[in-house]
Amino acid sequence: MPTGVALRDVREQLFDAAERILLRDGPAALTSRAVTTEAGVAKGVLHRHFDDFDAFLADFVIDRVGRMDPQAAALRELAGTGTVADNLTGALAALFASVAVAIVPLVTFRTQLRVRLRRTWPAGVPALTEAVAVIESYLTAERDLGRLAPGADVETLAPTLIGAAHLLFTDRTGGPPERSAVHRMVTTVVAGVVR
């Protein structure tokens, strides 16, 4: 791209390029040159907006995790409607169809990125930690509505569901799991608490 040409929302353009590379080629392919090439901008553009590449990646992860907020709100609005298993199955499928699964190996792949992210997330992997909070909030709402047993341990159920779903969705080479497999897992995990 010629210098002197104004870029519209360059951060978003770079983040979208990083997401495409991450989903298509994995964390090892995510370099500053790959991102700027994918975004169609000069390499210096990234470094004018971020201190270094790890700062870019940290902001990218925070941005993408922040996009889970609308999903969280939509799931909470489902509380009291449909079935708990169907609602959770849909939410997990939507969550893991996003870049969330790809963020996990990115964070584990880059030590400096983990160090930077610890400032925001002192524990856990950002996408998964946020996903647990989303599911826990929904399960709490369902428990409050009486659709889960009063003693349902949502603090344990939520990470169990996220962990099991992560294992189902991790192998991207075979494509996402069948919805029936996700539903079967959800039904098994919540069977003892659904009323």
pLDDT in tens, 93-112: 988 877 777 888 888 888 88
73 lies in the same domain as 38:
no
76 lies in the same domain as 41:
no
Position 171 scores a pLDDT of: 65
* Maximum distance among all Cα pairs of the chain, rounded to whole angstroms: 63
- Mean pLDDT score, 10-24: 93
Among 33-47, 74-88, 148-162, 172-186, name the one with the lowest average pLDDT.
172-186
175 vs 25, residue with greater confidence: 25
Spell out the alpha helix ranges (H) of 67-153: 68-78, 84-97, 100-109, 111-117, 126-144
Range 139-146 contact pairs with CB under 8 angstroms and sequence separation of 24 or more: 141/76, 141/79, 141/80, 142/79, 142/80, 142/84, 145/79, 145/80, 146/195
Gyration radius (Cα) of the chain, Å: 19
How many CB atoms are closer than 10 A to CB 141? 18
For residue 156, pLDDT over 60 is answered with: yes
Position 5 scores a pLDDT of: 44
Q: Is residue 22 part of a domain?
A: yes
Q: Is residue 3 part of a domain?
A: no
66 lies in the same domain as 37:
no
78 lies in the same domain as 169:
yes
78 lies in the same domain as 37:
no
Chain-wide mean pLDDT for the chain? 88
112 lies in the same domain as 39:
no
80 lies in the same domain as 149:
yes
Q: Is residue 90 part of a domain?
A: yes
Q: Predicted confidence band at 75 (pLDDT cuts at 50, 70, 90)?
A: very high
Q: Tell me the residue range of the domain where 44 lies.
A: 10-49
Counting the structural domains of the chain, the total is 2
For residue 4, pLDDT over 50 is answered with: no
43 lies in the same domain as 105:
no
32 lies in the same domain as 75:
no
Question: What is the C-alpha to C-alpha distance for residues 46 and 107, in angstroms, rounded to an integer?
Answer: 20
71 lies in the same domain as 104:
yes
Instruction: Provide the CATH number for the domain around residue 28.
Output: 1.10.10.60
Position 120 scores a pLDDT of: 76
